[in-house]
Amino acid sequence: MKKENLKKRSDFLWEIPKTYRKDMRVPAHVFANAGLIDDVVEDRSLDQLVNVATLPGIMKASMVMPDVHEGYGFPIGGVAATRHPDGVISPGGIGYDINCGVRLLVSDLRYEREKSLMPALSKELYAQVPSGVGKGGTIRLNGKQIDDVLRKGAQWAVENGMGNREDLEHMESHGCLPGADPDCVSDKAKQRGSDQLGTIGAGNHFVEVDVIEEIFHPEAAKAFGLQPGNLAVLIHTGSRGLGHQVATDYIRRMMQAMPKYGYNPPDRELACVPFNSPEGSDYFKAMCAAANFAWCNREVITWEVRKAWHNIFGPRGGHLRLLYDVAHNIAKVESYDVNGGEQKVIVHRKGATRAFGPEFRELPKAFRHIGQPVLIPGSMGTESYVLAGTKKSHDLSFGSCCHGAGRRMSRRAAKKIVNAPTLQMKMREEGIHLTAGSYKGIAEEAPIAYKDVNLVVETVHQAGIAKKVAKLKPKAVIKG
């Protein structure tokens, strides 16, 4: 894709018109400011976006957020809404790590008073929260237990003494999608997940201790309980091997089923079937189950983080309160005004975060008047942001926002140029204590491999999709 193929619609929105390719059913929209658009055209992500615009039943436009980069089938940072119930559902539009997501815990502790304990806290968090490729935890689930997790989501952790009931109100969908059916999840997927509850895995997943550095919206920050100078904890992970296997199983099944429905997408990675077909229905039920596993996983990790917090700070550490938990790899049935009337659609969000505005009834009353918290982690060692969703996002992006900084360099390329021990030392000199399982993981996730999260966030802020509330700065990072 060349930059000249994009038509500038505003300072933050570009369009690839429907006439760009004969098989496009809708135009393609790119949210990016001038400082990011050159990065966006560097890889295949916009070619993938055009492919998404060919999906049967797609509504309005295929879209990418400013943190876009190349993915499997769909670009990461992609959003697509298809007609309910006969439009397609595509596992590539959700991704392999189903319900990869982020949650933020906030405290009353002041960083300046506690900064000498950051090295100890980093080590204790690393000890309490299992991490690493394929790494299992201390919890071993039998068949009945894992089925219960897949049905109940975070509620299972609460019922089993590894979560707090008040946390449930502060999660997207209250930590459970009701459409889950464990019978649609393969035995192999369940086996892969049986010892991974309460673990973060590897890659870009992390537990991170931050200081709230700057407030942009005092009213929203007060409603969210964010005070400058206080410590907070970000958790980023998903459904681990279980979700990956669900995606693998159903991509294979859909590839075999597509000829039956007359589908021949421009990229085999865009395997899809009608949402209301047997294959589509089974996938959605399995995806919901994997999403529930991820919410339960993050709740158990929160329990582990709270243990580490108490072990270091004791009673003065107080209670780590959950602000919110949001998914950014998921499909959901939602209603929007499309073509002048309200219509149900299947919203695919792959590396994109829900960003609903004020008065959304699912939100806790304390900040329902503000809008949904939107959590945007930066790259390792750089800023992260808390935003608030807006009603404008419903019209512009099917209630969706960016999910992070977005890669600008492959993991292989990063490993070639980054000296991990030097980076770790440099971060320590900047007051960031990094504890990781391997130098390889550090090199792959170096800040140089990512876009500027400040530009990404400024784009969605200026677009009106979400408004900036607070900026966080890392002080301790735990990676696999």
C-alpha to C-alpha distance for 191 and 438, rounded to whole angstroms: 26
348 part of the active site: no
Helix ranges (DSSP H) in 258-405 = 278-313, 392-397
- Token pair, residue 296, equals 């339960």
Burial class for 417, CB neighbours closer than 10 Å (0-12, 13-18, 19+): exposed
- Strands 341-350, 384-389: pairing is unpaired
Q: What is the greatest pairwise CA distance in the chain?
A: 65
C-alpha to C-alpha distance for 378 and 324, rounded to whole angstroms: 17
Q: How many CB atoms lie within 10 A of CB 422?
A: 10
C-alpha to C-alpha distance for 143 and 205, rounded to whole angstroms: 27
- Strands 466-479, 433-436: pairing is parallel
Distances (CA, A) of 154 to 170, 195, 323, 364: 11, 16, 15, 17
- Cβ atoms of residues 216 and 457 within 8 Å: no
Q: Which of 69, 244, 348, 403 is catalytic?
A: 403
For 187-272, list the strands marked E by DSSP. 206-215, 230-237
- Cβ atoms of residues 440 and 420 within 8 Å: yes
- Cβ atoms of residues 309 and 320 within 8 Å: yes
Query: What SS3 state is found at 166?
Result: helix
* Polymer length of the chain: 480
C-alpha to C-alpha distance for 434 and 64, rounded to whole angstroms: 31
Active-site annotation, residues: 403
